[in-house]
Amino acid sequence: MRVDVLTIFPDYFAPLELSLIGKARTTGLLDVGVHDLRTWTHDVHRTVDDTPYGGGPGMVMRPEPWGAAFDALTPVPPDDLDLAPVLVVPTPAGQRFDQAMAHSFAGEQRLIFACGRYEGIDQRVLEEAATRMRVREVSLGDYVLFGGEVAVLVMLEAVVRLLPGVIGNADSLTEESHANGLLEAPLYTKPAVWRGREVPEVLRSGDHGKIAKWRRAQSLLRTAAQRPDMLASAAPETLDKHDVATLTGAGFPVPEAGVAK
């Protein structure tokens, strides 16, 4: 996968040299280019922002540097827009980023991230970009950050770990939170007893069937307690009669839409 990041703070992305992302870059699974947006300015102050039309507080990022940067990164617009790079623009006004979107991005050959600052990017930049790229405005959640850099780091962590070969044990990806629409069950390691607290006996039993049932039950209960919205949107085939018994036995309501017939 090729990833390009446009930002006025390139040093923000030093962590991409670390851990599994850094290893993926070293082994050739991931190719990353971090570009200083000010490279495409032409005044002595390297200006990237200006006051907003219509008035209001703050500053807006000017279109000229962005346009020149896109010209440099995508000099030849594709004949088929479906084969074009995906331009990801972090913004509070975007679609909520989730695991499904991470999987979608992981299937792309090239991603370009545009890190906005100040009040945001001139809207014409996104309109122009849409003629040569598939533009996705994305939000991490219902809150506001100083800029898009942190959001891009978060998204890259979520996306890159899904690329084949990045995670040593691929089974880890199928058993974690959100992989099946539920939160992951609690995790334990050695020692078996720590400060008087024991690892649940079933996990030490060696009975894989019982362990799987315990983890499923704990996953359901944790999701019901901490993310009832996820459980409410569960597809009908995801809950069987044992799941329903687990939830109702603990006093949690079972949404009708989430019960297998």
Annotated binding site: 116, 140-145
Q: Is 231 helix (H, G, I), strand (E, B) or coil?
A: helix
How many other C-beta atoms lie within 10 A of the C-beta of residue 163? Answer: 16
Neighbours of 155 (CB within 10 A): 21
Binding residues for S-adenosyl-L-methionine: 116, 140-145
DSSP string, 16-35: GGSHHHHHHHHHTS-EEEEE
Terminal C-alpha separation, the chain = 42
The CA-atom distances, in angstroms, between 3 and each of 6, 153, 186 are 10, 12, 34
Q: Cα angle at 58 between 130 and 56, to 5 degrees? A: 90
User: What b-and-e string marks burial along 3-33, b requiring 16 or more CB atoms within 10 Å of the CB?
Assistant: bbbbbbebebbeebeeebbeebbeeebbebe
Task: Give strand pairing partners of 2.
Answer: 31, 110
**For residue 26, which amino acid is it?**
T
Query: What separation in angstroms does the CA of 198 have from each of 189, 203, 205, 207?
Result: 10, 11, 13, 18
Query: Running DSSP on this structure, what letter comes out for residue 261?
Result: -
